[in-house]
Amino acid sequence: MPDLHTLNIITHITAGLLAIITGALVLSRRKGDAAHRTAGWITLTLAILCVSTALIGAFLFRGKLDLMGASLIISYNLWAGVRALKLKQNGRHPADLLPAMVVFISGACLFAMSQVADRLNWQPDLVYATAGSLVTYGSWDMLRTLLPLRWRLWLNPAEHAFRMAGLIAALMSVAAATLVPSPYVALGVSAGGSVIAFVFAFRAARKALGVTPSAALNARLKADSEL
């Protein structure tokens, strides 16, 4: 029988790999239909399992702050990606602002600890990238509370698309960091994933604004033209 650590690792790897596969399928399918939502929830469930086992491993078996920070980023984006579609009144509720503040402070603390705790088991490049991501996400989510309410029309779906695409990129980046010793490989995967996430966010914003017709609208126009 495998010990608890081995079982945790097997569960973590399996859930992460399945989350990447199902997430890629979600990104490749038509958005907004029932199949998209079902596959999305499956991906989220697998990602939550993957992050949970990562946190168990980080806190119980090896104290690597870069992995803890990466798990925090993924966890926050899991929540924020779903929450983006439900925000009301420009996201000015404490339930939206307080997590952003926690993420921002966590990034600042992680960077500060990296300057004084040189004996901990981490890679500085990954720690700096993780801390920078935490500060960036926290700053943006605090700043958006000041944006005009009418922007939510396109900002909500754009944020949802960016967070969900970024989630897959983050999982792939962590996998790359685990498989390849060089931190630059993981950073390259993360940067490439961020670019792809921006593309999906841009397309979602255009669709929300009516610049890019939805599949339902195209079908209706086609049916009207055939009458």
Report d(CA 73, CA 51) in Å as an integer. Answer: 10
By the 8 A CB rule, do 162 and 196 touch? no
User: How many beta carbons lie within 10 A of that of residue 194, not counting itself?
Assistant: 17
Residue type, 197: A
pTM: 0.71
Write down the pLDDT at residue 1.
47
**Among the listed residues 84, 106, 77, 85, the one whose alpha carbon sits nearest the alpha carbon of residue 168:** 77
Tens-digit pLDDT string for the chain (227 aa): 457 878 888 888 898 889 888 888 888 877 777 888 888 889 888 888 888 888 787 777 665 666 666 777 788 888 888 888 777 556 667 677 888 898 899 888 878 877 765 545 566 676 787 788 889 888 988 887 777 878 878 888 888 888 888 888 888 887 887 777 776 787 788 788 888 888 988 888 888 887 765 555 555 555 555 54
Write down the pLDDT at residue 129.
78
32 phi, psi to nearest 5 deg: 95, -10
Report d(CA 108, CA 8) in Å as an integer. Answer: 29
Q: Residue ranges per domain, the chain?
A: 4-226
Write down the pLDDT at residue 218.
58
